[in-house]
Chains A and B, each alone.
Chain A
């Protein structure tokens, strides 16, 4: 209980401390503002089409992966940069486990962020078209929330692992998200199996038609729902376990005067 209590406090602190507060609010508001903008300025929008692009691209490709790797790496890097890691490292607790618990509470914040984004798009899409009411389409909201949250958990776990491997983990994580993750879209089909984004796309309710993207090559790989869920969970689990083992074995010091002699 003590570890959980501390981990929750630290995750809350990471997301809502004064330095981060406004960027967190902006992350929560961004999708809502985007939806409001479309609602106010677009004339006769195809709301179903909008929702599909909103979930898979605006949220699934841009916002959520970025926030996930950012918060995932920051579980450790915030403590290093804030020079507070020493307080966590010098108590009779397993270091890796404490970090893992903090990451798990970050998943709660990520799930809330995903929900606010998906819900904003959903409310817009299904309260204004003839595809049925909000209640009838509730599974759409829930399944898309699940898909994006699982992807966020996987991305944040990768960021978490990078934080114990690299000096600039966020840079590598962003390269992974915005460079590597683009390749499976245009590359051979088997690459889709090792792409978080493609696993997430296999779970969202509005899937892209095979071959619709002009540049897609060999897009015949079909990822089933169970495969996608299992893959995302396995990626997260492997990253977390590796980090829990690696973290206590690494030295995280940047300010020792003897280094600068």
Chain B
């Protein structure tokens, strides 16, 4: 017999909403007056270690109670509310599993806790283990698993009951580059299936290729939220950093140093002697830099082999934002 009940209706409610939510651990503040709405799709939750990402996710998943304010997931209060887990699943950042169980035993047990009969639990466990490429390792004891295998097993357990919202705390930790790509692909598939995914990470470039929608946390506060372009709009006043590779970097630099918009020019030796030298230029008006370079190419016949905007990287944006705050 399958005991699972239908999930509660969501009636078009937003995925998650926090209103003035704070969480205190004694004198230490974990999350400070956070108000935001999470929309359907993939949302990246970004911030360095200790920024409050785990506290945020634990509030969202009903493991912690907000000290102040309100937290809602599909309009339900998640605090200690098992009903929410018919709609949502959580994949923690902890590496631990039941070490003396096989991966399959663990996932089947989680399926049974979700209300499935023994046969259905086994079927779903096998299906999800296959999906995360753990089928061939699933009969081994968890204590022999690598970090990546543990992550995959936890993800399989999180997907068992077809949740509408999947909350993943640092899901790419411990995965090799190929594993990360596979995992990111799974997240995209989940979003394509109409599920919402919240992914936390302290490594910004992990999220960059997955979603443009993000929430940045720093010291328990929301530093920025929204589309990456919106976040960029916040830092327009900051100088843009460009890395320009050229066969004659000194000549190129000569054209740039006189510009009013250029605040600094640095020479960077190449990693490989045969490569071109590069210069790192910080400018408040990048267009003037491009025009000056065009002039250098035409007048001095120099080669410009690449121009890279370092600030497009989320790391740089985060750095700017934290510096501003």
Q: Contact residues of A with B, CB < 8 Å?
A: 1-3, 5-6, 9, 13, 17-18, 82-84, 86-95, 98, 248-249, 251, 253, 255-261
Contact = CB atoms under 8 A, between A and B. Distances in A.
Interface of B: 1, 3-5, 23, 25, 28-31, 49-52, 54-55, 58, 61-65, 80, 82-86, 89-90, 92, 94-101, 105-106, 109-110, 112-118, 121, 143, 157, 161, 219-220
Contact of B55 (A9, A93, A256): A256
A-B interface, 8 closest residue pairs, ranked by CB to CB distance from nearest:
A258-B30, A83-B96, A91-B113, A92-B85, A2-B112, A90-B90, A248-B80, A83-B94
Contacts of A258: 23, 25, 28-31, 50-52, 54-55, 220
A22 B221 CA distance: 48
A2 B101 contact: no
B28 A261 contact: yes
Given A9-B109, A251-B65, A258-B25, A17 B100 contact: yes
Nearest to A88: B113
Given A87-B157, A256-B54, A259-B25, A6 B112 contact: yes
Contact of B30 (A9, A98, A256): A256
Contacts of B31: 258
B49 A253 contact: no
A86 B63 contact: yes
A90 B80 contact: no
B118 A84 contact: no
A90 B160 CA distance: 13
Contacts of A255: 94
B81 to A, nearest CB: 9
A86 B90 contact: yes
Given A6-B113, A9-B109, 7 more contacts: A17-B99, A17-B100, A18-B99, A82-B99, A86-B92, A253-B58, A256-B30
Nearest to A97: B82
11 contacts: A1-B1, A1-B3, A1-B117, A5-B118, A13-B100, A87-B110, A91-B114, A258-B25, A258-B50, A258-B52, A258-B220
Contact of A95 (B82, B112, B118): B82
Given A6-B109, A258-B55, A253 B85 contact: no
Contact of B101 (A13, A90, A94, A98): A13
Contacts of A89: 63
Contact of B64 (A88, A94, A251): A251
A4 to B, nearest CB: 10
B19 to A, nearest CB: 20
A83 B54 CA distance: 14
Contacts of B106: 87
B285 to A, nearest CB: 39
A13 B109 CA distance: 12
Nearest to A87: B110
A251 B63 contact: yes
Contacts of B84: 92
Contacts of B50: 257-258, 260-261
A2 B64 contact: no
Nearest to B4: A92
Contact of A5 (B4, B61, B92, B112): B112
A181 to B, nearest CB: 34
B98 A84 contact: yes
Contacts of B219: 261
A95 B110 CA distance: 14
Contacts of B49: 257
Nearest to B157: A87
A86 B121 CA distance: 19
Nearest to A16: B100
Given A18-B100, A261-B50, A2 B58 contact: no
A98 B114 CA distance: 12
B113 A2 contact: yes
Nearest to B117: A2
Contacts of B95: 83
A253 B80 contact: no
A132 to B, nearest CB: 45
Nearest to B202: A257
B99 A2 contact: no
